[in-house]
Structure 1
């Protein structure tokens, strides 16, 4: 069981309280031999190494949740983490911070966003430069994330990703460079805000929250992602399709595939949900601009579900979360349309999350 270690605890104070969950990753990696690094630092050691944190007056509680590379985290890990974060917030925490490897942040953060039903901030951060290197970015990222987790301006925004003093929405952020400290970007929207002089400055807002039902832990599903490539082989797509419960296809441009794949995709869409996304870094799939065999209009008519603005990685996380929640086929199609911006969020099949005041977004909007 993960253990909790309070940095400071005073039940009589009204100071904000943040629970930091450590999952490992580059931010926690060192080497005792001077060779390649691996995750060895505890979450407590990470927090203790943050300059200026004690001066903020924020109560910090540390949970050693996992200690592994970001690449080795699982759907089950993040589902369990979402439940633990909800418990911490229900227990009075002002916000939650998660430290983990950056390899999978754009996916784990989006899954947390889907599973986070409360208004308090849930913030994910990490580091691109491990603690053995000059100018390691971990301490600054942790401090910025903690400031974000205590800010009233971050309430009602779901899961946020904070690195390099930028605040991004989990649903839009992506890792754009393999080594740069400024790797995290939101190509379609830009950041929501910044942490400047220890203060959170929000310039944009997430327009609505789209939480999914709690996954059924007994449900085991496999969702594949097939990226369409030049002169793609239908046999590869067919082989993947026979082994999955759902599939995301990352097509060319606005959602196109070679004509040679059309029959295979038609057959797959009759058996499993197949989501059509774009492999390009930014921009949406379209729905009715092109009409040739293998175009977005043709594929949608054959049963594929357009992803809209959802990146393929996000679409895969959403589809798997929906299958784990035992969503029906029509609910899946409706949810993907809403999450991808192709339908109004009010069609979302499940109750809306709470806004920053603890009210239902849907009831507030429709009032």
Structure 2
């Protein structure tokens, strides 16, 4: 199978056919007798021009992924800010929701660094639906950028390259905007 980089994830720790594209499927399949194009991949975040703007890893700022889940507080996010990171990707649950404590800390973090919120599920977009302290509606009000259907590890690469290419807040937002 051939998968698009935007969609592909490792689906099993040691299976020989481990790569999968949840919610999208492969771009093409191959047998001994034939190859078949199944779909045209959607163009998403374009990091090529960003990668060209970066000269070596030393030009790429640190962008950690902070995971949310039951009982997660603000400690990891506060530690990252104290360490002087360039931006933060938060992996929320479902639609991009986080715990109340983490949501409040994100509200303060967006004042100093870009914060991108991705969802934990392997398919589907982040969307502001809930308005609790850690709900995505509240996070949107704080000024976070949502990763859409881009998973946290890929959002991290995109944000780091965007920051290394000196994108401003609007540029970061545009980086994660859905394709037109």
The normalised TM-score by structure 2 is 0.89
Tell me how large the CA RMSD over aligned residues is: 1.7
Q: Any residues of structure 2 matched to 1:1-367 within 5 Å, and which? A: 166-197=1-32, 199-208=34-43, 210=46, 211-213=48-50, 214-217=52-55, 219-243=59-83, 244-287=85-128, 289-337=129-177, 341=178, 344-345=179-180
Deviation at 1:235, TM superposition (A): 1.9
Could you say what secondary structure the match of 1:245 adopts? coil
Answer whether contact 2:71 2:99 (CA < 8 A) is retained. Answer: yes
Distance 1:208 1:220, change over 3 A: closer
Answer whether contact 1:216 1:326 (CA < 8 A) is retained. Answer: no
Could you say what secondary structure the match of 1:300 adopts? helix
Could you say what secondary structure the match of 2:116 adopts? strand
Answer whether contact 2:125 2:148 (CA < 8 A) is retained. Answer: yes
Deviation at 1:198, TM superposition (A): 6.1
Q: Any idea what the Cα deviations from partners look like across 1:285-344, whole Å, max 9, x if unmatched?
A: 113x2222211111011011111100111101111111122212210111112xxx3xx4
Deviation at 1:231, TM superposition (A): 0.5
4+ long deviations beyond 4 Å: none
Distance in 2 (CA, whole Å) between partners of 1:171 and 1:220 is: 20
- Where is the strand percentage greater, Structure 1 or Structure 2? 1
Distance in 2 (CA, whole Å) between partners of 1:168 and 1:270 is: 37
Deviation at 1:252, TM superposition (A): 1.1
The normalised TM-score by structure 1 is 0.45
Deviation at 1:219, TM superposition (A): 2.3
Distance 1:220 1:306, change over 3 A: closer
Structure 1, unmatched stretches of 5+, are 1-165, 346-367
Distance 1:296 1:248, change over 3 A: same
Distance in 1 (CA, whole Å) between partners of 2:97 and 2:157 is: 21
Structure 2, unmatched stretches of 5+, are none
